[in-house]
Amino acid sequence: MFRLDNKVALITGGGSGIGKAAALCFARQGAIVCILDLDEQGGNAVETEIQQQRGEALFLPCNVADQAAVQQAVQHIAERYAAIDILVNNAAVAHIGTAETTESADFNRLMSVNVKGVYHCLHAVLPIMKQKGGVVLNLASVASSVGLAERFAYSTTKGVVVGMTLSVAKDFLEYNIRCNCISPGRVHTPFVDGYLQKNYPGRAAEMFEKLSKTQPIGRMGKPEEIAHLILYLCSDEASFITGCDYPIDGGFITLNT
């Protein structure tokens, strides 16, 4: 079950965190994994790890906010493998602030990556995917469903991702393309560690514990746990699922409200 043998999977932000976990998971299930990421060190490391495990991987440095760069990367993948069967729109950036304290430059930065980055990938990949069908999986967030303090710009962009998911699912159903999104709660990634060290020097461990306890299940999620849901939704076993947003949040949405 859940095999992806010889399927070409494009994962943005695949050099670390959830994207890395998804890339490694897909490779173990037989996929040809193509990684787009700004982080060349991380992207190269994931590519090497997959190849060392006798999988096939290709890393291409790319800023998803740059439409021309995305188009070039997607074209390279399509010419090399003649298909793109799976697109995982994972790349995103975060920001702390309210509608009052968020500066225009920060709002635009999040829109450029979290919204236009998804659009750029969809715009480039869907014409290729239409040829024989495929799957799109977008990363939304619990922030698109519940109010989180000081997450104005981030919540805005993730709400847009849910709307984009529904639109793509509707418009491309006739081409045998499924599109879903998932909404993780707090997940323990390198981003979380960096955020805590930057904003709470000397108190990182204390704040990590505090944030972990905001999840009713009592801990943050693991990137691998998120990757397993991504795998399922991108596999043939989920062929009857499209146009859905799946929370994976340790009970955050339903048990905190």
- What are 4-24's pLDDT values in tens digits? 999 999 999 999 999 999 999
Same domain, 104 and 192: no
State residue 122's pLDDT score: 98
- Name the catalytic one among 81, 154, 175, 200: 154
Distance CA 114, CA 129 (A): 22
The predicted model scores a pTM of: 0.96
Q: Looking at residues 123-129, what average pLDDT do you find?
A: 98
Domain residues for the domain of 207 are: 187-220
Query: Do 125 and 210 lie in a common domain?
Result: no
170 and 154 inside one domain: yes
In a domain, 168, yes or no: yes
Q: Please tell me whether residues 87 and 193 are part of one structural domain.
A: no
The C-alpha torsion from 123 through 184 and 178 to 239, rounded to 10°, is 160
pLDDT value at residue 256: 77
CA distance 246 to 234: 13
Evaluate if residue 257 carries a pLDDT over 60: no
Mean pLDDT to the nearest integer, 183-193: 92
Q: What is the mean pLDDT of residues 113-132?
A: 98
Q: What DSSP state is assigned to residue 144?
A: G
CATH number at residue 19: 3.40.50.720
Six token digits for residue 80: 């090399």
Q: How many domains does the chain have?
A: 2
Q: What is the mean pLDDT of residues 183-202?
A: 90
Active site residue 154: yes
Confidence at residue 194, expressed as pLDDT on a 0 to 100 scale: 87
Residue 114 gets which letter from DSSP? I
Residue 243: inside a domain, yes or no?
yes
Contacts of 34 (CB under 8 A, 6+ apart): 8, 9, 10, 11, 57, 58, 59, 60, 77, 81, 84
Residues 180 and 191 in one domain: no
What band does 212 get if pLDDT is binned at 50, 70 and 90?
Answer: very high
Q: Residues 143, 242: one domain? A: yes
Residues 233 and 244: their CA atoms lie apart, in Å, by 10
Q: What are the DSSP E strand ranges found in the chain? A: 8-12, 32-37, 56-61, 86-89, 134-139, 177-184, 245-248
Residues 241 and 200 in one domain: no
Flag whether 1 is in a domain: no
Question: Over the stretch 47-106, which tens digit does the pLDDT of each residue have?
Answer: 999 999 999 999 999 999 999 999 999 999 999 999 999 999 999 999 999 999 999 999
Phi, psi of 198 (to 5 degrees): -75, -45
- pLDDT per residue as tens digits for the range 151-163: 999 999 999 999 9
112 and 237: one domain? Answer: yes
Please, are residues 136 and 179 in contact by the beta-carbon 8 Å criterion? yes
Q: Are residues 101 and 62 in the same domain?
A: yes
What percent of the chain is predicted at pLDDT more than 70?
100
Q: Do 204 and 131 share a structural domain? A: no
Cα–Cα dist 141/144, whole Å: 6
